[in-house]
Amino acid sequence: MHKNSKEENHTQGWHDRKHSPSGLNSHGHLIPEDLPGKRRLYNILQKTLFNASSRLTDRFPRSGSRFLDLTVRPLAGNPLLSALSTHHNRMVIRGLTSFRSFLVVPDIHIGDSVVSQSALTAIRDFFPEACVDYVVNRTVYPLLKGNPEATHIRPLFSNSSFISTEDLLDLRDMIQTGEYDLVLNFNPYLNEKDMGINRKRILNFLTYAPTIVRNENRPSEINHFAFQTYHFTWKMLSLVAKPQRPEHFMGLRLTLGDRAVEEAQRFTAQADLTDGLPIIMFNPDASSPLTRMPLKKSTGLLARIARLNTSILVAAGHTERGIGKRLIASLPDSLRSKTRIVQTSLPLEAFAALIDICDVFVSGDTGPLHIAAARKFSRSGRHKFRNRTAVLSIFGATPARMSGYDSFQPGYLPANQDAPSWSYSAQNPCRNITCVNKIYKTCRTIRCFDEVNEEKIAELLGAFLRTLSHQRSSSLESGR
């Protein structure tokens, strides 16, 4: 039976390794110049193409976006390209002689580490006794350790847009010493050369991109990255093995410790949130201005939400520091008293536990959105989480079906909560398929949130809160 890692000391010996300044790593292999930029041509091509697409929609928002959708979407989703990629992946998987050990490599960001856990589930569907290691962002590690689908969770990546040289060298060392039968790579900015692995032992999720792009033209297909990560992995492994259990993907999960729960409970007590009112947490921050509502729009939405019969928590903000306090300060005094700031000093694991206490979580396309949507489990088994947080995601540039959660619209993945979820896409003139890669977009004029129907969003939340209030009243009456 596979055994889950319980302590961080599994990573000692490689996580803290200091690389030789002589240009050799700990195995004596030459360190290629500028390792994270090894795919220089590929990165330069990406930057050039996405910069050009940004200039086009800057000048011609509507016609430029239509042109990009009419040209780039068919090329990126080309069936021939998809067939060639599928053929290569089949050759890789059928060429393997052993399936005893796997390494799953997500993109380096917090949200990606949460989302890509679905690959672990797919592997366990076929190989319940295999060693399955998962290398993740260090910040999100406390929320993932204890996942029963993983043998070891390896905290490696730091918080940055791209993997650092130090982190990449550690990843290469881990792959070389781990002797994995198969590496599943979900980082679009790395390939087998970057990671120092034979291309016959790696599956790159980027090869599945044509299918995901094509799915955007199929409204009934669930196109969320978590679901497609599971489907891609399951489909490949089904070529060489029979599933040992039914398809098992039920949604995202987190495993939290008792200390995080205690910190969250202490926060609510100190914030005086025990008056029985529903609690809405509003996260105004995001890693990119293309996915973060402008301050004026956020202020208007927060003012409408604060008029509801509810208590409000506002996340302080990590990328756009101080955005939470600025939002609260912009409210009238009568509404400001209903809000409380969630400081950045609260650890991420406690932040996740605090979300579970809330009745509604409102956010843009960013890591905390996936944390809110994930089902929470107690690492010790001593705490039972509510898992009844409704999730409302507000999208600007990025495609909502790929990252958002919705219980009602076809083609969406619902949040893994016993509560509804909704995805709202702001209206703008220039959204197009190239917006999916927000890291390389360089738009001079940000139009992603030009039209946000704040009243519609507030009405949706108000209707849900009334339903919640009715349910609580019925429960009280039935308990008499």
The reported pLDDT for the residue numbered 478 is 56
pLDDT at 222 over 70: yes
**Residue 296 CB contacts under 8 Å (≥ 6 apart), including other chains:** none
The reported pLDDT for the residue numbered 33 is 45
Return d(Cα 120, Cα 150) in angstroms, integer.
7
Q: Are both 8-31+77-248 and 255-478 of the same fold?
A: yes
The reported pLDDT for the residue numbered 164 is 85
* pTM across the whole model: 0.90
- Model pLDDT for residues 25-58, shown as the tens digit of each residue: 343 343 444 444 445 556 777 888 999 999 999 9
The reported pLDDT for the residue numbered 6 is 37
Give domain limits for the chain: 8-31+77-248, 255-478
Residues 249-260 have a mean pLDDT of 95
**Residue 58 CB contacts under 8 Å (≥ 6 apart), including other chains:** 64, 443, 444, 445
Specify the CATH superfamily of domain 8-31+77-248. Glycogen Phosphorylase B; (3.40.50.2000)
The reported pLDDT for the residue numbered 38 is 46
CA atoms within 13 A of residue 106's CA, in its CB half-sphere: 31
Q: For the stretch 450-474, what's the b/e string if a residue is b when 16 or more beta carbons lie within 10 angstroms of its beta carbon? A: bebebeebbebbbebbeebeeeeee
Identify whether the C-beta of residue 435 lies closer than 8 Å to the C-beta of residue 290: yes
Residues 120-129 have a mean pLDDT of 97
- SS3 sequence of the chain: CCCCCCCHHHHCCCCCCCCCCCCECCCCCECCCCHHHCCHHHHHHHHHHHHHHHHHHHHCHHHHHHHHHHHHHHHHCCHHHHHHHHHHHHHHHHCCCCCCEEEEECCCCHHHHHHCCHHHHHHHHHCCCCEEEEEEECCCHHHHCCCCCCCEEEEEECCCCCCCHHHHHHHHHHHHHHCCCEEEECCCCCCHHHHCCCHHHEEEHHHHHHHHHHHCCCCCCCCCHHHHHHHHHHHHHCCCCCCCCCCCCCCCEEEECHHHHHHHHHHHHHCCCCCCCCEEEEECCCCCCCCCCCHHHHHHHHHHHHCCCCEEEEECCCCCCCHHHHHHHCCCHHHHCCEEEECCCCCHHHHHHHHHHCCEEEECCCHHHHHHHCEEEECCCCCCCCCCCEEEEEECCCCHHHHCECCCCCCCECCCCCCCEEEEECECCCCCHHHHCCCCCCCCCCCCCCECCHHHHHHHHHHHHHHHHHHHHHHHHHCC
Which residues on adjacent β-strands are paired with residue 101? 131
- Mean pLDDT over each residue of the chain, to the nearest integer: 89
- Model pLDDT for residues 287-311, shown as the tens digit of each residue: 999 999 999 999 999 999 999 999 9
Residues 454-469 have a mean pLDDT of 94
Query: Which band of pLDDT confidence, cut at 50, 70 and 90, is reported for residue 21?
Result: very low
- Model pLDDT for residues 331-387, shown as the tens digit of each residue: 999 899 899 999 999 999 999 999 999 999 999 999 999 999 999 999 999 999 999
Residues 409-426 have a mean pLDDT of 97
- Model pLDDT for residues 132-143, shown as the tens digit of each residue: 999 999 999 999
**Residue 298 CB contacts under 8 Å (≥ 6 apart), including other chains:** 284, 323, 327
CATH topology of domain 255-478: Rossmann fold (3.40.50)
Residues 161-181 have a mean pLDDT of 90
Q: Which of 416, 418, 108 is nearest to 253 (CA)?
A: 416
The reported pLDDT for the residue numbered 13 is 33
Burial class (CB in 10 A: 0-12, 13-18, 19+), 326: middle
Query: Which band of pLDDT confidence, cut at 50, 70 and 90, is reported for residue 163?
Result: confident
Query: Which band of pLDDT confidence, cut at 50, 70 and 90, is reported for residue 160?
Result: confident
Q: What percent of the chain has pLDDT over 70?
A: 89
CA atoms within 13 A of residue 205's CA, in its CB half-sphere: 27
